Amino acid sequence: MRELAPAKINLCLCVGPTRADGRHELLSVIQSVTLCDELEMRDGERDEVLCPGVDGPNLAACAIAAFRRVTGWDGAPQRIEITKRIPVAAGMGGGSADAAATLRLLARRSGLGDADALLALADELGSDVPSQLRPGATLVSGAGERVTPLAGEARLGVLVLPSNATLSTAAVYARADLLRSPRAATELEELAHGDPSALTGVNDLEAAALSLEPSIADALALARRAGAARAMVCGSGPTVIGLFDDPAAAARAAGVLREAGVDARAARPFPRAASTFG
């Protein structure tokens, strides 16, 4: 069985106060894009996840264990091989995408796990996982556990500029708390009932990411020179994305930058209909 795990971009990210559980309240519009990892699952000798080029624990392996614990499924051990194309530790949710795709695969293989159960399980795995259970455009609130699919498909092109730097998500949030007062929970609620597209390009973590990794400023300037209508840090960074009104223009810009020796990639919105879940 095979499944695509699309990367996500945050078209906006508004950060609110810290909750009692230590997680931040937030409001974000997340869009899955066509930069995807590929997962292949088959019966094996034991549950395991192979992801060449990525060291350390893998969230997809945690997803297998959690799925068995929550559903009680005692099917054959599963071996998952991941072909990695999403930049690692880049703010594009690659690990979360792999975990969400793993849950979709396990639900298909076992016939277990309804939508509510998988959503709760996804939240247990990490704040980015629930929004990636059903790839597409999603309004995310709470600390990531409240997800509302958005109708329609955005027509935009995305220029992706990965970075060789690494940023800890926790460190970026901590720096953001030092640099600015968080938005009030009431403000997030008001924004959630407004027009999500009006927030496109807003990222409350961008200043914090820049302060921790100044080279991001060069990437933002590069995206603007390449013709992006908006350039912003993706999630907690350090990846920078440029948003284009025309997908073909984003592809041309990425091609020009690659010819100049820049690691640049182009992507489009990932169609929700391509998801096998839900």
- Name the residues annotated as catalytic: 8, 128
**CB-based burial, 116-153: b 16+ in 10 Å, e otherwise:** eebbebbbebbbbbbbbbbbbbbbbbbbbbebeebeee
